[in-house]
Amino acid sequence: MINIIMSLSHVVIGGTFDNLHLGHKTLIQKAFETGDKVLVCITSDEMVKNKPFSEKLESYEKRHENLADFLREKNWIDMAEIVKIDDPFTPGIRPGLTHIIVSSETRANAEKINDIRKDKGLSPLKIIEIGWVLADDGKPISDARIRKGEIDKNGNLL
């Protein structure tokens, strides 16, 4: 008899998830394609108060609600754990995590998380970097551009 040991992947992703847009959805999709479980970290209102156009940011509660609705729509909610974060590093040092999905903008944070994990005797996370999702003008879709009124959530020019 052959015993097959299946290894579970436990992925972490994080972000503001303001104006849940096509770039966010691409990141989230990659996480659920990669992992059996996904830890989704949403930045607290305190953490994002200095972002550009922060006065137009959706509240944490609204961002959480929109994200949970999207996960339910995709039938991913039972594979997810959604948590509020106050810093970009602490959730990534949770034991049992195996992967982190990032954009080029947040890769440095993932590398820092792996340094912290190493210092704590934990295995490093496999870093998977996804490319930017581009708007119609060839520039990256971002919540800052949406808040400025340049593009919509799908990258269409306004």
pLDDT digits (tens, 9 = 90+) for 19-49: 999 999 999 999 999 999 999 999 999 998 8
Examine residue 158 and state whether it is found in any structural domain, yes or no: no
Percent of the chain with pLDDT over 90: 85
- Dist. CA 53–CA 51, nearest whole Å: 6
Tokens 């195996």 sit at which residue? 98
Provide φ and ψ at 5, rounded to 5°. -100, 120
Full residue range of the structural domain in which residue 64 is found: 10-148
- Dist. CA 40–CA 125, nearest whole Å: 15
pLDDT at 7: 60
Residue 108, Cβ neighbours under 10 Å: how many? 11
The mean pLDDT value for 53-70 works out to 92
pLDDT of 143 strictly over 90: no
Examine residue 5 and state whether it is found in any structural domain, yes or no: no
Quote the pTM value: 0.91
Contacts of residue 133, defined as CB under 8 A and 6 or more positions apart, other chains included, come to: 22, 23, 26, 140, 141, 155
The mean pLDDT value for 99-103 works out to 96
The mean pLDDT value for 76-95 works out to 95
Arithmetic mean of pLDDT over the chain: 92
Q: How many domains does the chain have?
A: 1
pLDDT at 54: 75
CATH number for the domain including 82? 3.40.50.620
Examine residue 48 and state whether it is found in any structural domain, yes or no: yes
Per-residue pLDDT band for 1 (boundaries 50, 70, 90) equals: very low
pLDDT of 51 strictly over 90: no
Examine residue 156 and state whether it is found in any structural domain, yes or no: no
Examine residue 55 and state whether it is found in any structural domain, yes or no: yes
Burial of 153 by CB count in 10 Å (0-12 exposed, 13-18 middle, 19+ buried)? middle
SS3 state at 151: strand
Examine residue 44 and state whether it is found in any structural domain, yes or no: yes
- Dist. CA 34–CA 76, nearest whole Å: 12
Examine residue 73 and state whether it is found in any structural domain, yes or no: yes
pLDDT of 13 strictly over 80: yes
pLDDT at 47: 92
H-state helical runs in the chain: 22-34, 60-73, 107-119, 143-148
The mean pLDDT value for 43-65 works out to 89
pLDDT at 40: 98
- Dist. CA 102–CA 155, nearest whole Å: 20
pLDDT at 4: 47
Tokens 């992947």 sit at which residue? 9
Examine residue 142 and state whether it is found in any structural domain, yes or no: yes
